[in-house]
A and B are shown apart, each in its own frame.
Chain A
Amino acid sequence: MADMRVNLCGVELKNPVITASGTFGYGHEFQDFYPVGKLGGISCKGTTLLERPGNPSPRIAETPSGMLNSVGLQNPGVEAFVTELLPWMREQDVTVIANIAGSSVEDYVAMAERLNDEDIQMVEMNISCPNVREGGASFGTSTAMIEDITSQVKRKLTNKPLMVKLTPNVTNIGDMAAAAEAAGADAVSLINTLTGMRINIRTRRPVLRNNTGGMSGPAVFPVAVRMVRDVYKRVKIPVVGLGGISTWEDAVEMMIAGATAIQIGTANFRDPYAAIKVIEGMERFADEQGLSSITELTGTLNEW
């Protein structure tokens, strides 16, 4: 049988399948379906320095082959994450990736300091959030902001690898990835959600109480594949691919485009076993293809 392990900037994952931030809670929600220790890793719900109530409801809207969400980072804060939620995760023999978010560089730096000595394997930095000081533009939309925040967080996060999660709401995602790499990022993950909107034609009101939300699900998959391919060509650090993956075939496609590992998000809602089915399908495919290691797929795209 093919070796399913992958090495993601020094962290060994059992397999390349990670569950995506915000779609898998803190793991225990899925424990009734399967032991979460079977996963390559869990990226936890985005954590902020202090507790956040998030946006008012409705926060969910269905779209063709996808969904919009405007949860707005509702979470109990980094302290509660470490003391109340992490201990259970630590008992599950699973790679834990802490996903951090904030509204100022100082927020991110403070969280990096807080998490540096905790029993987590990696930090994923969500830079899709608005930078309050820069007039609310997302940190992830300018190379200057990405370099600044990445280098400052790296300075404090000395014991854990840093994965920068890129937003697709940019003109050139390759430039953004290169900026993160130049500032010391150990890996990049992409894509976060695409900003979207739905309108109720009778009330002429947006369906989401927040007006706009982040689009995810199968509809965004081709965009994600193209972006992972662009980024893979630009940087040397590992790329984690996500956005719309719902089958093992999608996961294999994403690895061929350049991903070292992949994440499953929205698909977990429709089929709680989605991530397990992806792992099993990839195993079968690797054997059928005669691979000795699943890593042999990464970046093997043969472009026209």
Chain B
Amino acid sequence: MRYTQEYTTLVAKDELAAGIYRFCLKAPAISRLAVAGQFVQVLVEGKQLRRPISLAGIDKQAETITIIFEIRGEGTDRMAKFVVGDTVDLVGPLGNGFPLPDAKHPVLIGGGIGNPPLLPLAEHYGNAATVISGFRTASAAILQEEFAATGATAVLCTDDGTAGFAGFTTQALEAHLATNPCDLICACGPMPMMSRLADIAEKNGILCYLSLEERMGCGFGACVGCAVDIRDENGNIKRKKVCTDGPVFLSKEVVR
């Protein structure tokens, strides 16, 4: 079995920053199947389509998964109203996750709500990893302690300079590369950020993976709603599915 539908139980909920929630869900079946970089589709009462949310944590012993989401519209607003003890209907784990290649000096880069899916990656690479997280402002910054707890070096950036490095993650990456080795970049965040990161990675000959987002009907390959343009080795552009072919793609494959 690759994925399943499961009635999970919300066992812990906290608000990490204004409008950003963390759910810990008891999900025996999904946690057993899940790997870093995958996502789940969350059923929301009163909404026709499920909402895709990345896995921010997988605990196979405790049979739990963690998701972290930001209120963006009606669906995520309703998700925020779940309380501990509620049943949450999920389909997952979906997508292929990060390939986790061997790397001595991986750099993980997250923009805003793109940070949570990097946590399982930071756990995988531990002390070897550097995590560069960008947020609009200090009060929106999340997960700095969690990233540090993995052993990774956590670099906080804020657009307005209210905490950490003043500027974008792309600038922080360039500063990092000036004095440090790097053999892998994994990024998740807004497309303009990832596009700029991909340029930097390519210029420096660094292997780079991007986690993409697209609107989804099903989440498991049946509707072809989530198409993105992907370039193959021969330079031919094909429409691939973010849900089953991704959501993680090599930066040089992504047509920007």
Give residues in A with beta carbon < 8 Å to B: 22-25, 29-30, 32-33, 45, 53-54, 56-63, 65-67, 69, 71, 74-75, 217-218, 266, 268-273
Contact = CB atoms under 8 A, between A and B. Distances in A.
B1 interface: yes
A268 B148 CA distance: 42
Nearest to B225: A60
User: Considering the complex of A and B, which 9 residue pairs feature the smallest CB-CB distances, nearest first?
Assistant: A25-B222, A29-B222, A60-B215, A60-B225, A29-B221, A74-B224, A269-B218, A58-B215, A53-B239
A54 B4 CA distance: 28
B162 to A, nearest CB: 26
13 contacts: A29-B244, A32-B3, A53-B239, A54-B227, A57-B228, A59-B215, A60-B223, A65-B48, A69-B217, A74-B224, A266-B48, A269-B48, A269-B223
A67 B5 contact: no
Contacts of A57: 214-215, 226-228
For the residues of B in contact with A, the DSSP-based class is loop
Contacts of A58: 214-215
B26 interface: no
A272 B225 contact: no
A74 B226 CA distance: 11
Interface size class of B (residues with CB under 8 A): 20 to 34
Main secondary structure of the interface of A (DSSP, over half): loop
B206 interface: no
Interface string B11-49: 000000000000000000000000000000001000111
Contact of B47 (A25, A62, A74, A268): A62
B239 to A, nearest CB: 5
Nearest to B244: A29
Nearest to A55: B227
B124 interface: no
Interface in B41-75: 43, 47-50, 75
Contacts of B220: 29, 32, 272
Contact of A24 (B5, B215, B222): B222
Contact of B48 (A45, A67, A75, A273): A67
Interface of B: 1-5, 43, 47-50, 75, 91, 214-229, 238-239, 244
Contact of A269 (B214, B217, B244): B217
A61 B48 contact: no
Contacts of B221: 25, 29
Given A69-B223, A268-B218, A268-B222, 8 more contacts: A25-B221, A60-B217, A62-B75, A67-B49, A67-B217, A71-B224, A71-B225, A217-B48
A60 B222 contact: no
A60 B43 contact: no
Contacts of B244: 29
A30 B5 CA distance: 11
A239 to B, nearest CB: 25
B8 to A, nearest CB: 15
A29 B218 contact: yes
A109 B3 CA distance: 39
Contacts of B239: 53-54, 74
A201 B160 CA distance: 28
Nearest to A61: B215
A91 to B, nearest CB: 18
B43 A270 contact: yes
Nearest to B219: A269
Contact of B50 (A66, A75, A269): A269
Contacts of B228: 57
B223 A22 contact: yes
A61 B3 CA distance: 24
Given A66-B48, A67-B49, A69-B217, A23 B222 contact: yes
B4 A32 contact: yes
A59 to B, nearest CB: 5
A56 to B, nearest CB: 8
A57 B226 CA distance: 7
A136 to B, nearest CB: 22
B5 A273 contact: yes
Contacts of B5: 33, 271-273
Nearest to B229: A56
A66 B3 CA distance: 25
Contacts of B218: 23, 29, 268-269, 272
B91 A272 contact: yes
Given A32-B1, A33-B5, A54 B50 contact: no
Contacts of A69: 217, 223, 225
Contacts of A24: 222
Nearest to A74: B224
